[in-house]
Amino acid sequence: MAIQPRTGSARIRAGLNHPVIDTDGHVIEFLPLFKDYLCEVGGRAMLEDFDRLGMGDSLEQDTPWHRLTPEARRDQRCWRPVWWIKPTRNTLDRATAMLPALLRERMDELGLDFTILYPTAGLIFTRLDDEALRRAACRALNRMHADIYREHAARMTPVAVIPTHDPGEALEELDYAVGELDFKAMMISGNVRRPVPLVAREAPRMARHALWMDHLALDSDHDYDPLWARCAELKVAVTSHGNVHGLGSRTSLSSYVFNHIGKFSAAGEAFCKALFLGGVTRRFPGLNFAFLEGGVAWARTLHSDLVSHWEKRNRESLDHIDPANLEQKVLLDLFNRYGSRLIEGRQEQLAEIIAGYARDSEDPATLDEWAAAGIRRVEDIHDQFVHNFYFGCEADDPANAWAFQGGPPLKAMFGSDLGHWDVPDMNQVLEEAFELVERGLISEEDFRDFVFANPVSLHGDMNPDFFRGTAVEDAAAAQLAAKGGSD
């Protein structure tokens, strides 16, 4: 099959005076090779456990939908999972997502100077319930990707897949991936599904129907600060590819589209809120976090909501709703004067009713919900939110423009999502992203931030050597030097 040497994306790249860095390309794992690595890591029994899960377009770890009758799906409220997610008609693109050498050959055609690659099946591995299998699958995938992408490091780098069901397993795999396998980027799921303890204890068979989501930074039963500290020590940004499919309102029996829309945004927003309100960004001001594939519209809204909630619900502003400040005699008099039919037959109880309005069961120590984040003024929100957080955006999302509108600029980053169903033609991805400039929604300088400066900042601010030895080394170094001079 002939590979087209010149494309619209390539022409756009040729007209830019800066590189294009893809922060979220996806590989499609070649499972026969992965299974060889899994067998090396965990032995034949582990491979058999993996095979029992079944593999189609995705592992059915979260739902047995395909194995159930329509009646059983309704009886169990078993939600519709993902289906048909990988390229087929565009065979070249399917192969490109699977073969590192082919991707390397096509990089110029795609208009990409460098790409950071995320898994497909690996997104599921971090969510496996079986601890031994979860840890072995992540370890095997990391070994495989370290081996097959090493020779292409000038143009691409894979992320290490880090399980986070508890801080111990995360620390162990992070140290191995960075220390032994030389990964310089990593991925977690910032949302861990856990059974409600009471249900798991008293009705274990029903536990999978009563889940809550642990966002690792607020109200968790585990202390993840050692993980964040180790990331900072190792100079690796925390990037999250979360998923809330099958939780909350995303539980349609029949429509994957219904369940899919907004799921990455919801996962990113929840993890982001937990990091912020849980004080992680205050305790680790030099640690960068990225929320992938959910776009930036939710981040613009979240930033605005944090500001408005702080203005109305910071500790000092709560005076007007503090029950202790209710003037009971004044209120009683007003009810007696104007209550009319509202208080007929209740005059004797009215004083007691109003006294109830002034009772307070809140613990004074819990009233400042901004204390962990150390917020004392609106600028503190801007400083943490805008400084620490990065937002992965798909090329065809017109709301990407919101990063540069309606408030302080947010650090939106271009992500191709190569290899998945929403990319019918890899050659058109950069073209789609550039449409925002052509339509006058963002400036060329905004576009430069989107596809180059912000990706460099995410990884390079923490690890100045991140892009050393790559095709973008000189441009990234110049960008970091210029940014350092302006700080």
Mean pLDDT over 115-119 rounds to 97
pLDDT at 483: 79
Q: Is the pLDDT of residue 273 over 70?
A: yes
pLDDT tier, 344 (very low <50, low <70, confident <90, very high otherwise):
confident
Does a structural domain hold residue 94? yes
pLDDT tier, 1 (very low <50, low <70, confident <90, very high otherwise):
very low
Task: Report pLDDT digits (tens) over 418-475.
Answer: 988 888 999 999 999 999 999 999 999 999 999 999 999 999 999 999 999 999 999 9
Does a structural domain hold residue 88? yes
Mean pLDDT over 135-152 rounds to 98
Residue 100 phi, psi (nearest 5): -55, -40
Q: Is the pLDDT of residue 267 over 90?
A: yes
Mean pLDDT over 84-102 rounds to 94
Does a structural domain hold residue 370? no
pLDDT tier, 407 (very low <50, low <70, confident <90, very high otherwise):
confident
Q: Is the pLDDT of residue 329 over 60?
A: yes
Cβ neighbours of residue 396 under 8 Å, at least 6 residues apart? 422, 432, 433
Asked if 479 and 456 touch (Cβ cutoff 8 Å), the reply is yes
Does a structural domain hold residue 319? no
Q: Is the pLDDT of residue 83 over 90?
A: no
Lowest mean pLDDT among 244-253, 345-354, 437-446: 244-253
Does a structural domain hold residue 339? no
Lowest mean pLDDT among 44-48, 152-156, 241-245: 241-245
Does a structural domain hold residue 170? yes
Does a structural domain hold residue 369? no
Lowest mean pLDDT among 147-161, 236-250, 394-408: 236-250
Q: How many domains does the structure of the chain reveal?
A: 1
Q: Is the pLDDT of residue 103 over 50?
A: yes
What predicted TM-score, i.e. pTM, was given to this entire model? 0.94
Average pLDDT, the chain: 93
Does a structural domain hold residue 364? no
Residue 212 phi, psi (nearest 5): -125, 160
Host domain of residue 141: 18-311+388-486
Task: Report pLDDT digits (tens) over 52-80.
Answer: 887 655 555 567 888 899 999 999 889 89
Q: What is the CATH number of the domain that holds 287?
A: 3.20.20.140
pLDDT at 347: 85
